[in-house]
Each structure stands twice: as structure tokens, then as C-alpha cells.
């Protein structure tokens, strides 16, 4: 070989080795995804997102396009890339992230399959929600820099392997009480983003209580004009116009979250009673209330105008609600005699049904008759849940001593109450909906919900302290089969979310029970 040939060979070798970089070895089984995926197999290598990566959609479909844009936005802002989506029926090629809507029979509702190789990623699901959850998994598999909005160095590596995943329960929810303290639409949207990240799909909004009425009802305008004008502690309160409320519903829907609106009746109604004298048995409007007592107010159950009122309210609310459920409250009606409460709840259920919606109510409603589709939300008495089951109802699991996000972690932590329990991060995680009470079995349960009451919190920062880090645990109970839920395994994954929580600016409680651990930076492994 002459000298020239040698030079050419050397140059081509250099060019070759610079352009075809070996994939970085990575172990997918070291992931810290929450909720824990149902099954996962590691392949020891990795896929790298680069400026040349293409997001491929297998169909020309507007929701799929929305998902593609959601994924490119997620990637583009911290990488500085300008990735775009492309519709093609091609099979995966090098550098593709392929989003595939598929009718394959081994896929289930909301489930997804991820196949990650050094060449490409294929994310397959039967429905759009499944693809969205697969994207949330990819997000958690990426370095937490993916949460930032300014350009970061990268590299953007995802460990290779396969994941098959689907939820245990169809209803995976949280509740926010916007009545005791009002939360701005932007704050509610932030909560929606948090729920979406952990594959939760219901947000129950507690829209009315003694201290405030928060949703505009056009046929009864004083509910918000007067009844929405304050909150616990005497602050200015607030309310959602129907337009802003519809925007929240849409924002949630795009993230596969259904809003479940609650108007709490016949108790917890002082804001309405203060706004309209005729709703009171004595025809006198009450004073607005800014304290935190419960159980002192009731609609006048034997006046016809009361039923006209709830019919108007539920008609307007049903028109704003794409979801199947409306929540009628029904809790702590201590000043409504049971003989009045029962026929009232019976009639309220029929009114909701007449507007095309199914009913959810707090567990006390099980004293009444149950319409065939009514759901009893167990918060206080398992006995009421069992009573509902005997009458044909299903149960939503929210036992206050385990699932209430407004319970303090311990006696020293800021915010929250402790009437049901102190709920440390382990206690909130270590329980199972099917074994926590006798006589409530898997078939009776539609899912779980973690309610956040807002007597002690006035804005989303304060709310975050109660929500994090317990919310991911409730999401895992609702998603992951019980055989895969184990505190020691979970607490390590939770601890590894610390850097992500920090980058997201989340005000979380740094529980001593969690082994908080700053994230390993993959780029150091890259240096050779």
C-alpha cells in the first residue's frame, strides 16, 4: 500500500468513527418511573435524541398531531432543537420516534408499548391516552433537564429495552377544593400538568361550599357575584366564568384528564344561602362565612324553589361537562334531618340523570336510594360504602386517613389538618384499595381519588407542599398492580425524582423517610 492510499484509509476511518458514534450503554431497569410500569425488559444500550430525530405519526389525525406537537414541544425547549412531526405509514427508520395508533389486540385501553432501540423508538397504543402516557414515560426516562425551558447541553439519552404498561383502575384522580380558597385558572392548569405527569385522569373540582361559590351560573348570577366574593380568612375569593371554566375543561381534556365538577348539596351551601334569601326556610339570606366550621348549613329541602335551583345549576354545569359524572356532595349535612336528606338526595340524583350525567356523592348519600350508575365516594365510613354496594352502587376509594392530601405529614409540618390522621409519605403509599376495608372488593371499585381540601392553603405553592411527594404514590396505587408495589422499591424511585422536582420548581415536603438522591448526570459517562 502506498502512502497516499494509507492517508485515504486513515481519513475515511476517522470520518467513519466520528459520524457513527457507538450508542452509550445504559440500563433501562435502573429507571425510576412513577407509576412503576407493569413490565419492562432492559437491552443495555440507548437511543439518543439529536437535532436529526424525527417524530413520526402513523395517521393523519388531529389528536395524534396534538400529541406529536406535545412531544416536540417537550423536547425542543430544553434541547434547542427544532424537531418536527411527519405523517407517514413507513416502518421505523434510524432516528425515528414513531407514534403509532394501532388496533392490535394485545393493547388495552390507556395502555402502551414502548420499544426503544439504539436506532429508533416505537410507541404504540390503542388510544390517544395510551400514547400520552407513553410520552410521560419517555419524559421520566430522560434526564430531568428535559423539564427546563432554557437550552441545556444534553446528551438526550433514553435507555433501550421494551416496556408494556397499562392501568389497574380506570378512575385515577385527585380533588382540589377551590371553594375554601379560590385557585386561579393558571394554578388549576399547573395541577393538571402534575396529574398528567403521573398518568392520572380525573380532576374533581369542589366548586361550592359554605365559604364560596366558584362557578358562574347564568340563571342565578348572585351565586358568584355575592357568593364568590370571599373565602376562608376573608380574602377576596373569586370565581370562574363559564368561559374560563370551559378553558380549564379543555386544557384538562387535551391531557386526557376529565374534570368532575362538584356542587355540594344540601349542606355546605352557605355561599348560596347568603346569595339568595328564597333558598332559606326562613326566607332570610345568611351572612357570608369565612371560618372553617362544617355542618351548619342546609338548603331548604321542602321548598320547591330549591329543586328549581338545583335543576338550573346542574343543567348549566352538565352543559359545561364532557365527562360522564357530576358530583353532588352530600357530606356532613348535619342540620338536614335524615328523613329530609334521603328524599332530597333521591330527587337530586334524578335531576342530574335528567341532564344526561351520572352521579357521584360522598359516602353519606348511600343512605338514599341509589340510581343504577351512582358512585359512592368513601371518605369517612366504610359502612356507608358497603351500604351503597348493597344497593348496587360502585365505590370511589378516598379514605381520609390514607388518601387525604390535606392531612399533615406529622405534627410538626406546615399546612394541613390532622382530624383523620397524620399521613407520612410511607403511610400514604402502603395500602391497597381492595384490602383496606372488608366487603369492598375489586369489582366494586372504580378507582381512587386523593382529595385536597383548602382550609389551610391559599395558593398553588402552599398546595404543592401537601401534594408532593404524596401524589405520585396515589398515582402508583391507581395505576400499578399491587404485586409490583413495594415501599422500599418505591421510595428509591421517589428519591430519584428530587432533581426533577427541583427543576420543575415544585415546593415539596422533604420527608426524612425518602432517600432523596441527586440525579446522576449521564454526560459524565460520555466522556472518553
| Active site amino acids | 332
Member of 110, 331, 444, 522 binding ligand TNX (CB under 6 A): 331
- Residue 362: CB minimum distance to ligand TNX, A: 4
Ordered alpha helix ranges (H), 80-184: 128-141
Enter the C-alpha cell of residue 429. Answer: 403509599
- Cα Rg of the chain (Å, integer): 26
- Residue 57: CB minimum distance to ligand TNX, A: 43
User: Is the previous residue joined to 374 through a cis bond, with omega within 30 degrees of 0?
Assistant: no
The nearer residue to ligand TNX, 134 or 173, going by C-beta atoms, is 173
Q: Does 417 contact ligand TNX by CB under 6 A?
A: yes
Select from 23, 50, 27 the least CA-distant residue to 118.
Answer: 23
Give, in order, the Cα–Cα distances in Å from 473 to each of 203, 229, 485, 490. Answer: 16, 35, 10, 8
Q: Does 449 contact ligand TNX by CB under 6 A?
A: no
The nearer residue to ligand TNX, 264 or 522, going by C-beta atoms, is 264
Q: Does 169 contact ligand TNX by CB under 6 A?
A: no
Q: Does 332 contact ligand TNX by CB under 6 A?
A: yes
- Residue 493: CB minimum distance to ligand TNX, A: 28
Centroid of chain to Cα 37: 17
Centroid of chain to Cα 401: 20
- Residue 269: CB minimum distance to ligand TNX, A: 12
Q: Does 342 contact ligand TNX by CB under 6 A?
A: no
Characterise 439 by phi-psi region: left (phi > 0), alpha (psi -120 to 50), beta (else).
left
How many other C-beta atoms are found inside a 10 Å radius of the C-beta of residue 77? 16
By CB under 6 A, the residues from 452 to 491 that bind ligand TNX are 453, 455
Sheet holding 54-57, edge to edge: 39-49, 156-165, 112-116, 121-125, 96-101, 54-57, 85-87
Q: Does 213 contact ligand TNX by CB under 6 A?
A: no
Dihedral Cα 455, 500, 397, 329, nearest 10 deg: 30
Q: Does 406 contact ligand TNX by CB under 6 A?
A: yes
- Residue 404: CB minimum distance to ligand TNX, A: 6
The nearer residue to ligand TNX, 363 or 476, going by C-beta atoms, is 363
The nearer residue to ligand TNX, 163 or 375, going by C-beta atoms, is 375
Q: Does 513 contact ligand TNX by CB under 6 A?
A: no
Q: Does 430 contact ligand TNX by CB under 6 A?
A: no
Q: Enumerate binding residues for ligand TNX (CB under 6 A).
A: 294, 331-332, 362, 379, 404, 406, 417, 453, 455
Amino acid at each position: 500500500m502506498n502512502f497516499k492510499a494509507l492517508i485515504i484509509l486513515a481519513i475515511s476511518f476517522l470520518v467513519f468513527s466520528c459520524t457513527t458514534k457507538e450508542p452509550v450503554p445504559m440500563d433501562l431497569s435502573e429507571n425510576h418511573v412513577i407509576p412503576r410500569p407493569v413490565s419492562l425488559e432492559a437491552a443495555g444500550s440507548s437511543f439518543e435524541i439529536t437535532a436529526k430525530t424525527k417524530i413520526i405519526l402513523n395517521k393523519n389525525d388531529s389528536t395524534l398531531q396534538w400529541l406529536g406537537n406535545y412531544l416536540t414541544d417537550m423536547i425542543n425547549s430544553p434541547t434547542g432543537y427544532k424537531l418536527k412531526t411527519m405523517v407517514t405509514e413507513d416502518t421505523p427508520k434510524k432516528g425515528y420516534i414513531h407514534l403509532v395508533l394501532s388496533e392490535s389486540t394485545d393493547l388495552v385501553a390507556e395502555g402502551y408499548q414502548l420499544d426503544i432501540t439504539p436506532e429508533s423508538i416505537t410507541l404504540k397504543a390503542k388510544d390517544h391516552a395510551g400514547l400520552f402516557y407513553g410520552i410521560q414515560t419517555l419524559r421520566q426516562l430522560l434526564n430531568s433537564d428535559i423539564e427546563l425551558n432554557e437550552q441545556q447541553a444534553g446528551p438526550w439519552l433514553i435507555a433501550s429495552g421494551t416496556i408494556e404498561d397499562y392501568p389497574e383502575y380506570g378512575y385515577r384522580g385527585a380533588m382540589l377544593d377551590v371553594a375554601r380558597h379560590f385557585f386561579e385558572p393558571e394554578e388549576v392548569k399547573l395541577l393538571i400538568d402534575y396529574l398528567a405527569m403521573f398518568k392520572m385522569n380525573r380532576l374533581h373540582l369542589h366548586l361550592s361550599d359554605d365559604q364560596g361559590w366558584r362557578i358562574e351560573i347564568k340563571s342565578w348570577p348572585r351565586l358568584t357575584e355575592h357568593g364568590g366574593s370571599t373565602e376562608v380568612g376573608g380574602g377576596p375569593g373569586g370565581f370562574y366564568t363559564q368561559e374560563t371554566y370551559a378553558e380549564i375543561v379543555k386544557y384538562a381534556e387535551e391531557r386526557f384528564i376529565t374534570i368532575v365538577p362538584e356542587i355540594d348539596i344540601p349542606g355546605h351551601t352557605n355561599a348560596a344561602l347568603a346569595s339568595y334569601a328564597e333558598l332559606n326556610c326562613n326566607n332570610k339570606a345568611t351572612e357570608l362565612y369565612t371560618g372553617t366550621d362544617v355542618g351548619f348549613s342546609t338548603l331548604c329541602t321542602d321548598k320547591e324553589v330549591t329543586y328549581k335551583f338545583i335543576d338550573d345549576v346542574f343543567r348549566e354545569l352538565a352543559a359545561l361537562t364532557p365527562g360522564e359524572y357530576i358530583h353532588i356532595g352530600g357530606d356532613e349535612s348535619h342540620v338536614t334531618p335524615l328523613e329530609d336528606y334521603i328524599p332530597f338526595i333521591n330527587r337530586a340524583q334524578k335531576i342530574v340523570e335528567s341532564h344526561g350525567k351520572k352521579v357521584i356523592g360522598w359516602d353519606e348519600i348511600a343512605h338514599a336510594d341509589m340510581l343504577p350508575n351512582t358512585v359512592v365516594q368513601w371518605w369517612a365510613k366504610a359502612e356507608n360504602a358497603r351500604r351503597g354496594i348493597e344497593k348496587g352502587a360502585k365505590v370511589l376509594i378516598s379514605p381520609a386517613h390514607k388518601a387525604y392530601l390535606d392531612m399533615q405529614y406529622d405534627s410538626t409540618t406546615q399546612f394541613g389538618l390532622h382530624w383523620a390522621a397524620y399521613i407520612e409519605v410511607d403511610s400514604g403509599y402502603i395500602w391497597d384499595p381492595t384490602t383496606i376495608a372488608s366487603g369492598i372488593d375489586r369489582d366494586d371499585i372504580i378507582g381512587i381519588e386523593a382529595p385536597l381540601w383548602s382550609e389551610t392553603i391559599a395558593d398553588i405553592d402552599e398546595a404543592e407542599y401537601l401534594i408532593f411527594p404524596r401524589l405520585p404514590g396515589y398515582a402508583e396505587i391507581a395505576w400499578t398492580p399491587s404485586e409490583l408495589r413495594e415501599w422500599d422499591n418505591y421510595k428509591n424511585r421517589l428519591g430519584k425524582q428530587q432533581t426533577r422536582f427541583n427543576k420543575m420548581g415544585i415546593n415539596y415536603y422533604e420527608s426524612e423517610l425518602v432517600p432523596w438522591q441527586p440525579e446522576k448526570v449521564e454526560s459524565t459517562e460520555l466522556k472518553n
